[in-house]
Amino acid sequence: MISRVHIMLGSPEMDKLRLDLRPGDKVVGVDKGALMLLDEGVSVDLAIGDFDSVSEAEYEKITREAREYRRFEAEKDDTDAELAIEWAEKRYKPDKLFVYNWSGGRMDHLLNLLFLVHQPRFEDIIQKIEFKHSQNNVTFYKAGSYHLDRQKNMKYLAFVGMTALKGLSTTGVKYPVDRLDTAYPVTLISNEFTQEYSRFSFSEGVLAVIQSSG
């Protein structure tokens, strides 16, 4: 089983954050994201998407240099990102799915990514998914108790209810809450770590945790 998969999306401007590759990791390039990786000298295990944002010459480069590629029709029910995450999970069955270059493009694509947690087909893997960026890092959690390490260069912390929440408690932060219930999705933003880690727990709902550099 592959422990980690890195998925590079095709946002118009590539984020400066680079992949932290380890032996055995797999790399998936999505549409123009595959070209961006190849141009950076990163080997692509799977290139996937409709490739409507690259030229024919660029597509030929992708098919020539990627180890494997899958092309889909531009008019389809799934976004390229949804296809990539679903294929990566089924193909590699990793412990973690890191998604890069996910912001800075179209707002509808960004919302589509954040709302993946509500799709039944992704329900069992949302805690594997991590959206990585030089300024913002997003992880998702189902009900439970968790230890969260502060990431390097990240100053702010947000607890975002993707659903109503029950019993949310947080410690190790500037503005803690104790057994908070919410009747609708809420955004508890602009919090900060008071130490190098935080602990949080909740008994019902889905939570997104965002670490930001400011």
pTM above 0.85, yes or no: yes
The pLDDT of residue 59 is 97
Domains of the chain: which residue ranges? 4-131, 136-212
* Contact indicator for 88, 46 with CB cutoff of 8 Å: yes
Domain 4-131 matches domain 136-212 at the CATH topology level:
yes
Burial class (CB in 10 A: 0-12, 13-18, 19+), 169: middle
Confidence of residue 46 (pLDDT cuts 50, 70, 90): very high
> Which of 34, 59, 55, 54 has the alpha carbon at shortest distance from 45?
34
Is the domain spanning 136-212 CATH 3.40.50.10240? The answer is yes
pLDDT (average), residues 60-78: 94
| CATH number of this structure's domain 4-131, picked from the four choices 3.40.50.11540, 3.40.1550.10, 3.40.50.10240, 3.40.50.1000 | 3.40.50.10240
Confidence of residue 160 (pLDDT cuts 50, 70, 90): very high
Angular region, 74: left φ>0, alpha ψ -120 to 50, beta rest: alpha
Confidence of residue 16 (pLDDT cuts 50, 70, 90): confident
Task: Say if residue 214's pLDDT is above 90.
Answer: no
Write out the DSSP string of 22-78.
-TT-EEEEETHHHHHHHHTT---SEEEE--TTS-HHHHHHHHHHSS-EEE--SS-SS
